[in-house]
Amino acid sequence: MSSQNQLFKPDGKNSIHDGIEHSPSGGKALIDPTDTVLLLLDHQSGLFQNVKDIAVADLRRNTTALAKLAALIDLPLIITASIPEGPNGPLMPEIQQVAPHAVYVPRRGEVNAWDNALFVKTVRETGKKTLIIAGVWTNVCVMFPALDAKAEGYNVYVVIDASGDPSELASRTTLARFTQAGVIPTSTNAVTCELHRTWNRPDAAQLAELYCMASPSYQAVMESFNKAQEVEAAKQTNNGPKSTRSTTPALAAQSR
């Protein structure tokens, strides 16, 4: 059983169960990890070439971080591609490399994944009612199924920085349509934080590694902090700096 399954229970309360007394109102407005499935749609090499609203390297890194998060906390992950044998190209390989539990659903030419009966059946069979969606393009491959799923009664979040559009204008108009329809825009870092919830968990180092992916500067901050702690300890002992395994989350992740 993963630490995620030990920390949270499918009781609708979304409270932390780590042996510490927490506020009973905490988490009620946040994503419930026991009721969530991650959908990564059409992260394909051909479509990447037309993404202009975010650096493709950032998009791929954030998408990989989401997939790693799903694998770490046993979150169901469903992936699909639009005509991978055509000009849209194959899916980025990082997703299945870091999340081998991902379920791939082939489509038969449908632009909108929600038009594919097998895809919708696969989503429904998870039993989850909260969808976290990212994909390329945001204004088509993400927006169409997001709007359909919302109309069907799902709680829908769209990870904007793990998605991409052909222009800034397309991205802005898509965000406007999401908010008008009740689809919630979010970010890779926010999703990780909402599903993380507490450092009082055995996988804290792996989670810190994901923060370093979503925000590379976070690793630099932790490295500086750890070095300052090491120098201060050396002053106290007058024995000079010592190389020891870090106990802080981010650097511990790097020393694994």
To 5 degrees, how large is the angle CA 45–CA 48–CA 49?
Answer: 100
Give me 96's structure tokens: 């299945």
CA 224 to chain centre: 26
- Please choose, from the candidates 172, 170, 175, 171, the residue with its C-alpha nearest in 3D space to the C-alpha of residue 157: 175
- Catalytic one among 141, 195, 214, 253? 141
Max CA separation in the chain (angstroms): 69
CA distance 142 to 134: 6
CA 61 to chain centre: 10
In our burial notation (b when 16+ CB lie closer than 10 A, e otherwise), range 60-78 reads bbbbbbbbbbbbbbebbbb
Residue 53 and residue 170 in contact, taking contact as beta carbons nearer than 8 Å: yes
Residue with tokens 């971080």: 65
CA end-to-end span of the chain: 21
Give yes or no: 141 in active site: yes
Q: What is the DSSP letter of 183?
A: P
CA 105 to chain centre: 19
Q: Tell me the catalytic residues.
A: 141
